[in-house]
Amino acid sequence: MKNYNAKIVFCHPIMVILFTAFLAVGVNAQAGNGWLSRYWDGCKPSCSWSGKQYNGQGQCKECDKNNNKINTNDLNRSSCEGGTSYTCWDMAPWAVDNTTAYGFAAAHNDGQCGTCWQLTFDGRTGNNSPNTNASSLNGKKLTVMISNIGGDVQGNQLDFLVPGGGVGNYDSFSSQIGNSNLGQRYGGLVSDGCIGNPSCLRRKCDNAFGNAGQEWLKAGCYFYADWMGAVDNPSYNAISVSCPAALVDRWKNTATMYTLTVNRNPAAGGTTTPESSQSNIIGGTQVNISAAAATGYTFNNWTVSGSGTIAGASNTSTSVTVNGNVTVTANFEQNKVNPINLPQIASGNLRAQATASAIVLENLPSNAKIEIYNLQGKRIYSNHSENSQILKILVQTKGMYIIKVKFSGETKSLRIPVI
C-alpha cells in the first residue's frame, strides 16, 4: 500500500476547484458495495500527521520500533522513510463476538481520517479473487476506523490493517520484527497458499509471530484465520457509523484505566453493586454504586449516583453511610498498565481481559468450568465459577494464554495475550 504523507499544492485556480470537488465526493466514497484488501507495512499512520481532516478524532497515535507509544509529532519521521515512527501493534483487529469485530483500515483520501464504517459481508469476494470459504463471512459485521491513506486504494476498496496482511509498497515491518517470512508482498500470509484455509494461515501466523512480545501481532493474525476465515478480498456493503468507544480508545490510547473496589462494613446484611471489583474503567466515567438491605436490616433499598465518578486523579475514594448501619467505600486505583480488552467470548455478557500480570474474567455464568492453559499446553488454572463472579487469575509469565469456559453443554475458547 502506498502511504502518501506529502502535502500537494496546486497553483492554477482551475486545478484547485477540481481538487476540492474530488475531496467532496471522496469523503463518502466508502459507502455502498466494496471489497476489502489487507496490509501491515509498519509505517507511521498517515492520519498521525498534522493537517489532515480527523473528523473530530484528533491525530492517530504512533509507536517506536519496540512498540512503545510516543508523542505524536511531525518531527517523528515514518519508519518507511528511515525514521523511528511505526504502527502500534494494538491496532491489530479483534472479535467482539462471533459476528461482530473491530479494526482499522486505509482509505483513498485524507478526508477519511478518523471516520468509521460498518462493513456487512455478503459471502462473496471482489477484485476477481477466488470465492473459497467466502460464504463463512456472510452476514458478519466488521467496523473499521480509517487510520491510513493509500494512493493505490480505490474508491470502492478499503485496505484492512492486519498483521501478516502484506507489506505492500513500503516495508519497515520486516526489519522491525526481524522476520521477512511474511508471505506475498501483496496479500501476505493468506496469499502464500492459504486462501480460504484457516488452519494453514494459523500455522503461518505461528511461524511469523512466534517470538516473545509479539502476542498482539499473533492475535491479530489469528483473527484473520478464525473470524475472517482466511478469505481473500471479501466483498461487503458499507455504511457510515459513529466510531465505537473501543476503536477511539485504540486510536488515541489516552484514556486512563482504573480498577474499582467496593467494600461495605459490616460485610453481612446486604449486597452492593458492583459486588466487589470492576476493571478497565475509563477516566471520566461515572460508576453508580448501590446497596440493598438484607432481611432484618432497617434501611430501605438505597442507590447513590455519581459517588463513583472518576475525575482523573490517580486515586479516588468515596464513603457513604446508610442509616448508621452500612458504610460503603469505593476505591478507584489507577492501573499502572492499560489492560488489554479482547471481549471475544460471545455468550451473554461474558468478557475476558488482561492486565500486565493477570487475566480477568467478568460476568461468568453460574457453575462454569474455567480452564487456562499456556501455549505449551500446561494447565495453570482450573475451577468452577459462581454466578456473576469476577475472577482474577495472576500469571507469572507474559505471553499468549488459552482460556476455555465450559457451561450449558458448550465450550468457548479464547486466546488472550498478557504483555
164 pLDDT more than 80? yes
| Domain end point (choices 194, 227, 252) | 252
Same domain for 121 and 202: yes
334 pLDDT more than 90? no
pLDDT mean over 133-146: 97
Nine-digit cell string for 391: 475472577
- In this prediction, residue 297 carries a pLDDT of 56
Active-site residue 152, yes or no? Answer: no
| Domain end point (choices 225, 252, 279) | 252
- In this prediction, residue 9 carries a pLDDT of 27
How far apart (Å, rounded) are the C-alpha atoms in residues 328 and 361? 24
Is the residue at 7 inside a domain? Answer: no
Residue 398 · residue 405 · CB < 8 Å: no
Percent of the chain residues past pLDDT 90, beyond the cut = 38
Residue 265's alpha-carbon distances to 37, 113, 170, 297, in angstroms, are 57, 51, 61, 13
How far apart (Å, rounded) are the C-alpha atoms in residues 33 and 121? 10
pLDDT mean over 221-237: 96
In which domain, by residue range, is 314 found?
257-334
Domain count, the chain: 3
Active-site residue among 90, 110, 122, 159? 159
- In this prediction, residue 149 carries a pLDDT of 87
What rounded mean pLDDT belongs to the chain? 76
pLDDT mean over 100-120: 92
pLDDT band at 277 (very low <50, low <70, confident <90, very high): low
Active-site residue 159, yes or no? Answer: yes
Q: Pick the residue with more confidence: 35 or 338?
A: 35
Each residue's pLDDT tens digit, 382-406: 888 765 567 778 877 777 787 887 7
Same domain for 261 and 212: no
- In this prediction, residue 291 carries a pLDDT of 66
The reply to whether omega before 274 is within 30° of 0 (cis) is yes
61 pLDDT more than 50? yes
Is the residue at 126 inside a domain? Answer: yes
360 pLDDT more than 50? yes
- Domain of 410, CATH number, reads 2.60.40.3080
Q: What is the pTM of this model?
A: 0.61
204 pLDDT more than 60? yes
